């Protein structure tokens, strides 16, 4: 599929299978445009979009299926619940137009999303999480063949993210509806998706199974992502009773929080560059559980902060960690390339994914 704008070209190809697919890329990479082209909000210039073998758009045969006939569920980032209808009317809105094609029982939706008690409520009085579930239920009520979600997690706090991810997984599993959602947060993508479709500057640069962790550094090691996140691969050494995990990565031992992991299990560690502190001496009397020796390989100044690239292990070890600090910290600590430092990381700042 191709879509040209004044200062931007979108060129994509790929197939989304059952399960949850995340379209991932930095801001301006074309994620929303791709989703809009699939939905039909935006008409591509050329190419083809098909769903379960049925063509929705084909530039060669001039097929461009109307929005209402595409049978695609779409949830906007702002949810767009109809303000003049209560929860029940919002959810049932699409039913009157769907005729007899409803294949998901109402009870299955309300049970999966736990919204049975909200039916008579005014949508203005719902919490953020409740609104999300109602918007999902409204889209599901028309029994779509696929569900498209525009940045579903971006406006939610950590607790609500975890809850919504659980709901998305149960919608996908219990109701057998493939889900495609866009996100610019790598940690979110890794935590909920089965496969990851990567976009950069309008170009499709990779589509991998989430389990293919060995492909992460190649696909994601780019500092053009807002809120840089480090990705490391490792092996679980121990799952401790206090819900901490010992993980080996690059010949270093990381302590993270989490439960349900098995010894020798391969895992991915996601650490935000802004969650890492730099110390010039080893810190022993400190509550953070990780003090990792490293060496500065490069200091990169951006308009708002400094990115310190650190080599973790001995020479020859490829993996690096990037730490985001202020210009003031760079000056006060007298950081120079080649200098030995210690990276201080709280166990809870390391997101571990199976």
Partner 1 sequence: MELSPINLSLLTSGVATLINLPIAVFIGWLISKLSLKSKSIVETIVMLPLVLPPVVVGFALLKFFGIHGFGGKLVSNIFSADIAFTWIAATIAASVMSFPLMARSIISAMESIDSRFEQVARTLGAKPIQVFLTITIPLAKRGIFAGIIVGFVRALGEFGATMIFAGNIDGKSQTIPLAIFTEMQLGHTSEAGKLAIISAVIAIISIFIYNWISNEPKKDKI
Task: Rank residues 94 and 202 by Cβ distance to partner 1 and give the closer one.
Answer: 94
Q: Does 54 bind partner 1 (CB under 8 A)?
A: no
| Residues of span 114-143 touching partner 1 by CB under 8 A | 122-124, 138-139, 141-142
Task: Please count the other Cβ atoms lying within 10 Å of the Cβ belonging to residue 207.
Answer: 18
Sequence-ordered alpha helix ranges (H) in 175-283? 186-192, 216-220
Q: How many residues of this chain interact with partner 1, rule: CB under 8 A? A: 27
Q: Does 42 bind partner 1 (CB under 8 A)?
A: no
* Least spacing, CB of residue 63 vs partner 1, in Å: 18
| Residues of span 282-321 touching partner 1 by CB under 8 A | none
Options 62, 84, 284, 315; binder of partner 1; rule CB under 8 A: 84
Binding segment for partner 1 among 25-33, 93-101, 242-250, 326-334 (CB under 8 A)?
A: 93-101
- Name the residue among 97, 178, 181 with its Cα closest to residue 141: 97
CA distance 253 to 36: 44
CA distance 155 to 160: 9
Contact in structure between 232 and 250 (CB atoms under 8 Å): yes
Which H helix or E strand runs over 205?
A: strand 203-209
Task: Please count the other Cβ atoms lying within 10 Å of the Cβ belonging to residue 128.
Answer: 12
CA distance 101 to 114: 23
Task: Rank residues 142 and 195 by Cβ distance to partner 1 and give the closer one.
Answer: 142
Q: Does 70 bind partner 1 (CB under 8 A)?
A: yes
Task: Please count the other Cβ atoms lying within 10 Å of the Cβ belonging to residue 34.
Answer: 26
Interface characters, 141-180, with partner 1 (x: CB under 8 A): xx--------------------------------------
Q: Does 74 bind partner 1 (CB under 8 A)?
A: yes
Options 67, 253, 266, 286; binder of partner 1; rule CB under 8 A: 67
CA distance 215 to 133: 33
Q: Does 98 bind partner 1 (CB under 8 A)?
A: yes
Binding segment for partner 1 among 67-75, 222-230, 262-270, 330-338 (CB under 8 A)?
A: 67-75
Sheet holding 306-311, edge to edge: 277-279, 340-345, 290-301, 306-311, 320-325
* Least spacing, CB of residue 231 vs partner 1, in Å: 34
Contact in structure between 23 and 199 (CB atoms under 8 Å): yes
Options 53, 83, 316, 338; binder of partner 1; rule CB under 8 A: 83
Options 76, 223, 233, 291; binder of partner 1; rule CB under 8 A: 76
CA distance 59 to 232: 42
Query: What is the 8-class DSSP label of residue 316?
Result: T
Binding site for partner 1 (CB under 8 A): 39, 41, 66-68, 70, 72-74, 76, 78, 80-84, 93-94, 97-98, 122-124, 138-139, 141-142
């Amino acid at each position: 599929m191709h879509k040209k704008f004044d200062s931007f070209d979108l060129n994509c190809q790929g197939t989304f299978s059952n399960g949850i697919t995340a379209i991932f890329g930095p801001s301006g990479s074309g994620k929303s445009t791709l989703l809009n082209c699939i939905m039909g909000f935006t008409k591509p210039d050329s190419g083809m979009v098909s769903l379960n073998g049925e063509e929705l758009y084909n530039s060669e045969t001039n097929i461009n299926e109307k929005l209402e006939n595409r049978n695609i569920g779409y949830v906007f980032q702002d949810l767009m619940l109809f303000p003049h209808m209560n929860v029940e009317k919002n959810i049932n809105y699409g039913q009157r137009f769907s005729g007899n094609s409803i294949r998901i029982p109402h009870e299955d939706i309300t049970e999966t999303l736990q919204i049975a008690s909200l039916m008579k409520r005014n949508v203005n009085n719902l919490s953020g999480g409740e609104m999300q579930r109602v918007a999902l239920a409204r889209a599901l009520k028309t029994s779509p063949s696929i569900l498209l979600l525009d940045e579903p997690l971006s406006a939610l706090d950590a607790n609500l993210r975890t809850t919504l991810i659980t709901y998305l997984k149960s919608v996908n599993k219990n109701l057998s509806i493939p889900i495609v959602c866009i996100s610019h947060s790598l940690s979110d993508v890794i935590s909920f998706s089965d496969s990851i479709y990567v976009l950069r500057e309008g170009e499709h640069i990779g589509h991998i199974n989430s389990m293919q962790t060995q492909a992460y550094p190649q696909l994601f090691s780019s500092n053009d992502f807002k809120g840089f996140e480090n990705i490391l691969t490792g092996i679980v050494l121990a799952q401790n009773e206090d819900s901490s995990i010992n993980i080996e990565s690059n010949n270093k031992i990381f302590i993270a929080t989490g439960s349900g992991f098995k010894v020798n299990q391969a895992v991915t560690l996601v650490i935000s560059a802004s969650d890492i502190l730099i110390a010039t001496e080893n810190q022993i009397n400190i509550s953070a559980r990780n003090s990792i020796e490293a060496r500065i390989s490069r200091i990169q100044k951006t308009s708002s902060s400094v990115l310190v690239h650190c080599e973790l292990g001995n020479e020859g070890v490829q993996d690096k960690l990037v730490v985001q600090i202020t210009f003031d910290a760079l000056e006060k600590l007298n950081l120079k390339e080649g200098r030995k430092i210690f990276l201080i990381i709280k166990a809870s700042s390391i997101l571990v994914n199976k």
